[in-house]
Chains A and B, each alone.
Chain A
Amino acid sequence: MKPKVAFFDFASCEGCQLQVVNLEEAILDVLALVDIVSFREAMKEHSDDYDIAIIEGSIARPIDIDRIKKIREQASILITIGACAHLGGVQRLGNQWDAEANKVEVYERHPGSEITKGDSNPYFAQIKHRAVSEIVKVDAAIPGCPIDSNEFGKVLVALLTGKKLPIPDYPVCVECKKNENICVFETGGFCMGPVARAGCGAPCPTHGGECEACRGYVDHPHTQAHGEVLKKYGLSPDDIMTKRTMYNYRDFEDKGGD
């Protein structure tokens, strides 16, 4: 019996599910391993009978908490995909304001806001953004914004063969150097690579961008030394904070930041 897999989305752009679709012909190999019973981006059918739940998105509303808990009860394995589910996503930056104030800002100052006002409509109720693992137990988190299709395949293989998850605990610099890139700092940019968790293959610096640590930090990031480097290369304290919190506001909150 092949395990039955269902995809679910919470607060997200659904780009990570798109990355699964982007596996293209390799998705046929995935289908030989598992039965996909629910996948909104790729099929019409839906079933609530599943063994593996794949979750995209952050937890943003009271109804999300109930929904994710219900999914957890049904699923024997729960995998999250992407930075939103793993860390809370860029939307977690909203946590620096009160949830109610965010609701007013986003929904209630614009035409057509009658339906969003007050507490009557649960679809618009807000809480502080949370990562999935802050609400329920997560068996495997595939990090990244978006996830890497190949890594999705590798994690699936690891889970099905009982191996440790193939997600490295070294910084993005390792993969960036192997790609023989010119260091982002040398090109005038500011990079989170030295503290960011690798596994993505360093696509951003490889294609002229900067690493933004969308996969979170390594287990023991040398944050202070990295901060000194950012400062040395001319980044202001405010901009350093912006870099550090864009994807990793969770880390900031975990360390007692407010």
Chain B
Amino acid sequence: MKIISKQDFDAFINALIQDESLDVEGVKAKGDKFVFGPLDTATELRLDYDVTILPPKKYFLPQYETMMHFDISTGKATAPAMDTKKVIVGVHPYDLIAIQQMDKYFFDTNVDDIYLQKRKNSLLIGVMPAKASEKAFYGDLMKNAGTPELHFDLMVTDLGVLYAVLPGTPEGAQLLSRATSRDAQPQEIEAAKNKRQEAIDRATRGLKVGPKAWHSLLSNNYMSSIWKEMADQCLACGSCTLVCPTCFCYDVNDEVGLDLNTGVRTRTWDGCLLRDFTKVAPGEIFREDIVERYRHRINRKGKYLPESMGFVACVGCGRCSSQCVPDIADPVNLINKLAEATMDTIPDTNMGHVPEKSDLGIIASDSLYIPRTATIRRMMKLTKTETFFEIGLDDGQPLGHVPGQFVEVSIYGVGEAPISVSSPPGGNTFQLIVRNVGDLTNKLHSLSEGDKIGIRGPFGTGFDTEGMRGKNILFIGGGLGIVPMRSLIKYVLNNRADYGKVMILYGCKDPSELLFKDEISQWENTPGVEMHRTVDTCAEGENWDGQVGVITTIMPMVTFDPLNTIAVVVGPPIMYRFVNRDLLNMGMPEENIIVSLERRMKCGVGKCGHCQINGIYVCKEGPVFNYKDIKDEPEAFS
């Protein structure tokens, strides 16, 4: 630990500001509040602040961020130029914890290269809080948290007339060597330690249940009437999520210039309190009721992210509660309310809110977001609204998917949409069947053979073709559900000897919506395949030789041993409830039912947050699920 006089510290900051290779950002006053912003001089720096309006998250996941520049005519995209190296001065420990959480989230499984680059390109100078804001409760969260290791380059503690500065990384130490400093005396080290404890103790507000027990508390109270009581006062304005240092959800948009050719793909903060957050192109909103959105926010923090990432996504900064005008966002108030209403004992888990120190040495293998170029090899209109596309990647590589996975189809200037792959694995091309429902699919339908598109993926978890081996397979497809199912049907038929009896039940609205007419008659005539099809309604005089009625009416037409049969069910949300109920009544074990679920899969890589079913990221853990694993998620089939 080093000791710097306040005067020398100012000189140090001013020297950094003078260094043209650095962009020095720090805490400044804005009215009677504080914000992080570019520093012109050290005198602007307000290390005595309580909390900033927005967290330093904005430096790593900015409010508006260019992901790539594109040129529609050439079909090329380029990553944005690298920013000047940032030094961020005055980050409080709770925000350092939030950054550590963000690191874990964005480095998990698919490393977000855009985030990583910004993160590697910044130095963090922390400061112990000189005062706590009215709503802060990081002190409550730190009880029983021990002394976790935080990631910072330098940590500053105000000792009155002097600053104690502790380097946390070699880069930090190197930066500090630019300052006039001396080694700290033992009593100064002790004083700094006391200051840290004082800072923590100051920010306590009587939280009744510590973060390690939030998981149990929230699990036991999902159906509590408190959610509705609070949500009735909610404006659904999204402020609580927007100012939160541990809310990472974002939306992606393409913006085209007035030249109609060049533009940028950007990401911008989104929030689960906003009504459109879960809206898919056909119009369905999966969390339409405000109480579902209100409950989701807190559950994501206290239950879902602990399950998937191992940390409670709250750091006690108090920003949400200070920004919520109806005053219903405060986690302390809510957790205490739930705790008071609950009779059960609330056991601790081992998941606190401080993840282990970040590893910035991590390497991103590929650009997560820039698509590969592909060519439409063949197009064929199937129905009024569906078109068949055969796509080849321009690098000549096979897609390498398994049945049930999806790709993100990208058209610069329009955007991206998740589309299920409909062909079986193998070959140098793959097939998509696309319904014309939104901007992207609309544009895709207007293209021609030979046109270029972008492809990212394959993404998601597909069907477990190995686990199905030796079993009878009962396919139950409704409407567009036949599209991802076709990939598996063809795979099973190509490997016929590996599977038992094959039964296919396919239902759609009316005969005009029937897809794959030729293939269906082929399947019908394949020995060892039993196929039945039905339509909800059939106009008089229409040519139709199948059944009429919803899909459950043709289920009794097949006989099978439920213990030795796997049912693969894919269709619109409403279908699952009835089909699964009937299968269970037939004696089929829950683990023999496989479903594929649709949600708003915007990024495809488990980052943007839109596709969550409770805590499950459909784009990563799904879209294919074993019914047994997903049935207890309240949002799965509601």
A contact set with B: CB distance below 8 Å: 26, 29-30, 32-33, 153-154, 156-157, 160-164, 166, 169-171, 173-174, 177-178, 180-183, 185, 187, 193-195, 218-220, 222, 225-226, 228-229, 232-233
Contact B53 A182, beta carbon cutoff 8 Å: yes
Known A-B contacts A180-B30, A182-B31; A29 and B259 likewise in contact (beta carbons under 8 Å): yes
Q: Does B596 contact A (CB under 8 A)?
A: no
Could you give, for residues 245-286 of chain B, a 1 whenever the CB lies within 8 Å of some chain A CB and a 0 otherwise?
Answer: 000000001011111100000001101001110000000000
Contact A171 B30, beta carbon cutoff 8 Å: no
Which B residue's beta carbon lies closest to that of A233? B325
Contact B274 A153, beta carbon cutoff 8 Å: no
Contact B233 A225, beta carbon cutoff 8 Å: yes
Q: Does B631 contact A (CB under 8 A)?
A: no
Q: Please, how many angstroms separate the alpha-carbon atoms of A241 and B130 in the complex?
A: 44
Contact A171 B54, beta carbon cutoff 8 Å: no
Total A-B residue contacts, Cβ distance less than 8 Å = 105
Contact A177 B242, beta carbon cutoff 8 Å: yes
Which A residue's beta carbon lies closest to that of B231? A225
Most central of A154, A162, A173, A195 by chain B CB within 10 Å: A173
Q: Does B178 contact A (CB under 8 A)?
A: no
Q: Does B63 contact A (CB under 8 A)?
A: yes
Q: Please, how many angstroms separate the alpha-carbon atoms of A121 and B446 in the complex?
A: 52
Q: Does B290 contact A (CB under 8 A)?
A: yes
Q: Does B337 contact A (CB under 8 A)?
A: no
Q: Which residues of chain B are near A222, meaning CB under 8 Å?
A: 234-236, 290
Which A residue's beta carbon lies closest to that of B234? A225
Q: Which residues of chain A are near B58, meaning CB under 8 Å?
A: 180
A199 to B: closest C-beta gap in Å: 12
Q: Does B42 contact A (CB under 8 A)?
A: no
Instruction: List which B421-444 residues lie within 8 A (CB) of chain A.
Output: 438-439, 442-443
Q: Which residues of chain B are near A169, meaning CB under 8 Å?
A: 275-276
Q: Which residues of chain B are near A30, meaning CB under 8 Å?
A: 258
Q: Please, how many angstroms separate the alpha-carbon atoms of A169 and B233 in the complex?
A: 20
Q: Please, how many angstroms separate the alpha-carbon atoms of A185 and B31 in the complex?
A: 14
Which one of B64, B255, B275 lies within 8 Å of A170 (CB-CB)? B275
Contact A193 B269, beta carbon cutoff 8 Å: no
B contact set with A: CB distance below 8 Å: 30-33, 35, 53-54, 58, 63-64, 232-239, 242-243, 253, 255-260, 268-269, 271, 274-276, 290, 323, 325-326, 413-414, 438-439, 442-443, 446
Which A residue's beta carbon lies closest to that of B438? A164
Which A residue's beta carbon lies closest to that of B442? A162
Q: Which residues of chain B are near A156, meaning CB under 8 Å?
A: 258
> Can you add 7 more A-B contacts, CB < 8 Å, to A153-B258, A173-B242, A174-B237?
A169-B276, A174-B238, A174-B269, A178-B64, A178-B269, A194-B237, A219-B275
Q: Which residues of chain B are near A229, meaning CB under 8 Å?
A: 235, 325-326
Known A-B contacts A182-B30, A183-B325; A220 and B442 likewise in contact (beta carbons under 8 Å): no
Q: Please, how many angstroms separate the alpha-carbon atoms of A236 and B520 in the complex?
A: 68
Which one of B32, B253, B260, B443 lies within 8 Å of A160 (CB-CB)? B260
Which one of B232, B243, B259 lies within 8 Å of A177 (CB-CB)? B243
Q: Which residues of chain B are near A194, meaning CB under 8 Å?
A: 235, 237, 325
14 contacts between A and B (CB under 8 A): A30-B258, A32-B259, A161-B413, A164-B439, A170-B276, A173-B238, A177-B239, A180-B35, A180-B58, A222-B236, A228-B233, A229-B235, A232-B325, A232-B326
Contact A163 B259, beta carbon cutoff 8 Å: no
A179 to B: closest C-beta gap in Å: 8
Please list the 5 inter-chain residue pairs (A to B) with the smallest Cβ-Cβ separation, ordered nearest first. Answer: A29-B258, A173-B237, A177-B242, A178-B63, A194-B235
Q: Which residues of chain A are near B326, meaning CB under 8 Å?
A: 225, 228-229, 232
Contact A171 B238, beta carbon cutoff 8 Å: yes
Contact A171 B31, beta carbon cutoff 8 Å: no
Q: Please, how many angstroms separate the alpha-carbon atoms of A173 and B307 in the complex?
A: 31
Q: Please, how many angstroms separate the alpha-carbon atoms of A156 and B259 in the complex?
A: 11
B485 to A: closest C-beta gap in Å: 29
A191 to B: closest C-beta gap in Å: 8
Most central of A161, A174, A178 by chain B CB within 10 Å: A174
A203 to B: closest C-beta gap in Å: 16
Which A residue's beta carbon lies closest to that of B446? A162
Contact A177 B258, beta carbon cutoff 8 Å: no
Q: Which residues of chain B are near A26, meaning CB under 8 Å?
A: 258
Q: Which residues of chain A are near B275, meaning CB under 8 Å?
A: 169-170, 218-220
A153 to B: closest C-beta gap in Å: 6
Which A residue's beta carbon lies closest to that of B258? A29
Q: Which residues of chain A are near B238, meaning CB under 8 Å?
A: 170-171, 173-174, 177
Contact A32 B325, beta carbon cutoff 8 Å: no
Which one of A157, A160, A180, A219 lies within 8 Å of B54 (CB-CB)? A180
Contact A174 B323, beta carbon cutoff 8 Å: no
Contact A33 B260, beta carbon cutoff 8 Å: yes
Q: Please, how many angstroms separate the alpha-carbon atoms of A171 and B235 in the complex?
A: 9
Q: Which residues of chain B are near A181, meaning CB under 8 Å?
A: 53
Which B residue's beta carbon lies closest to that of A172? B237
B444 to A: closest C-beta gap in Å: 12
Known A-B contacts A157-B256, A170-B276, A219-B275; A195 and B235 likewise in contact (beta carbons under 8 Å): yes
Contact A193 B30, beta carbon cutoff 8 Å: no
Contact A226 B258, beta carbon cutoff 8 Å: no
Q: Which residues of chain A are near B439, meaning CB under 8 Å?
A: 163-164
Q: Please, how many angstroms separate the alpha-carbon atoms of A222 and B33 in the complex?
A: 28
Q: Please, how many angstroms separate the alpha-carbon atoms of A219 and B283 in the complex?
A: 14
Q: Which residues of chain A are near B257, meaning CB under 8 Å?
A: 29, 157
Q: Please, how many angstroms separate the alpha-carbon atoms of A164 and B443 in the complex?
A: 11
Known A-B contacts A163-B439, A164-B439, A219-B275; A193 and B233 likewise in contact (beta carbons under 8 Å): no
Contact A32 B258, beta carbon cutoff 8 Å: yes
Q: Which residues of chain A are near B271, meaning CB under 8 Å?
A: 174
B45 to A: closest C-beta gap in Å: 17
Q: Please, how many angstroms separate the alpha-carbon atoms of A166 and B326 in the complex?
A: 30
Which A residue's beta carbon lies closest to that of B32? A182
Known A-B contacts A164-B439, A180-B53, A228-B233; A174 and B258 likewise in contact (beta carbons under 8 Å): no
B134 to A: closest C-beta gap in Å: 12
Q: Please, how many angstroms separate the alpha-carbon atoms of A30 and B259 in the complex?
A: 8
Contact B237 A193, beta carbon cutoff 8 Å: yes
Contact A154 B255, beta carbon cutoff 8 Å: yes
Which B residue's beta carbon lies closest to that of A176? B239
B305 to A: closest C-beta gap in Å: 21
Contact B235 A226, beta carbon cutoff 8 Å: yes
B567 to A: closest C-beta gap in Å: 37
B414 to A: closest C-beta gap in Å: 6
A1 to B: closest C-beta gap in Å: 15
Q: Which residues of chain B are near A161, meaning CB under 8 Å?
A: 256, 260, 413-414
A152 to B: closest C-beta gap in Å: 10
Which B residue's beta carbon lies closest to that of A187? B31
B595 to A: closest C-beta gap in Å: 30
Contact B325 A185, beta carbon cutoff 8 Å: yes
Q: Which residues of chain A are near B237, meaning CB under 8 Å?
A: 171, 173-174, 193-194
Q: Please, how many angstroms separate the alpha-carbon atoms of A225 and B446 in the complex?
A: 44
Q: Which residues of chain B are near A180, meaning CB under 8 Å?
A: 30, 35, 53-54, 58
Q: Which residues of chain A are near B235, meaning CB under 8 Å?
A: 171, 173, 194-195, 222, 225-226, 229
